[in-house]
Amino acid sequence: MEIENNTSYSFWERTSHISFLKRLLYPKKVEKSLKTPSIITEECEGLLLNNQLIKSILFSTDLALIENNDCDAILAVYPFSPSKRIMESIINFSSKPVICGVGGARTQGRTSVEMSIFAEKYGASAVIVNQPFKAKDIAKIKQKINIPIISSVTNLQCDFEKRIDAGVSIFNVTGGSQTLAIVKHIRQHFPHIPIICTGGKSLQDITRVIENKVKAVILTPPSNATMFKKAMENYRKGIVKFKNYF
C-alpha cells in the first residue's frame, strides 16, 4: 500500500495510513495464557519439522487450548480410532506444525496407511504410532509417505532396532516413572535417533529430561473444565488475573 505525496492529505490522515502500515507489517504479538516454561526454549536443542525448529509440543486436540498456547507444535493423538475430520480440522485451524496419530493397538494395517497418506496430504508435519503398533505396518507407511514417522515408547520391552529399520526416525518417550531410563537407553544404543519426551508434572521433571538431551518436550495442559473451575473459584474471590497453567 503506497501513501501518495499529496498535500490534500491532512496530518491525521497521513498518521492513520502510517499506523495501518505498521500494524500490517509488524503485527502485535498476542500474549498466550498457556506459556512454555523458559527452560525449554533456552535449553532444548530443538527438532526440525517442516523446516521449523520445534522445542515445545502441546499435547491436545482442544481448539481452545491450541489457540491459547505458545508451544511450537501440536501433538494430536487421542484414545480412539484416527479421524480424518479431526486431522483436517486441527491442521487447518493451527498455524503450527501438527503431529497426527495414525495407529496403535486399536488401529493398524491398511487403515493406518490410509490415515498417514491423508495426514501428509492435508499438511501434517509428522505421523505418530503407539508402541503396540506393528513394525511391519510402519514399513508399509514408510513406503507411502515422506514426512517423519514417530514411534511412542512406553517401556524398555520395545524393539527399538526393528522399528528404526521399519522407518521410524524419531522416538517419543512416554514411560511414566521409567521415562528417564528409556531416554538413557536410547541415547546409549541409538545415539543418532532424535528423542521427544513428555515433560512430567513439574519443572524439576522437565529439567531432568532436558538434561538428558531430548530434542523437544511435550507439555500436557489441564483440561478446559479444570481451568474453568479454577477461574470461577478465583472470580468468586475477586481474583481476575489468569495464571500460567503449565
Q: Given this structure, which CATH class describes domain 38-232? A: alpha beta
pLDDT tens by residue, 60-93? 999 999 999 999 999 999 989 899 999 999 999 9
Give φ, ψ of 53 to 5 degrees. -80, 120
Task: Give the residue among 127, 148, 218, 135 at the shortest CA–CA distance from 179.
Answer: 218
pLDDT tens by residue, 188-212? 999 999 999 998 878 888 999 999 9
107: confidence class by pLDDT, cuts 50, 70, 90: confident
C-beta separation of 57 from 218 below 8 A: yes
Output 33 or 177, whichever has higher pLDDT.
177
pLDDT tens by residue, 126-145? 999 999 899 999 999 999 99
Task: Examine the pLDDT at 2 and tell me if it is beyond 50.
Answer: no
- Residue 8 confidence (pLDDT): 53
Q: Where are the domains of the chain?
A: 38-232
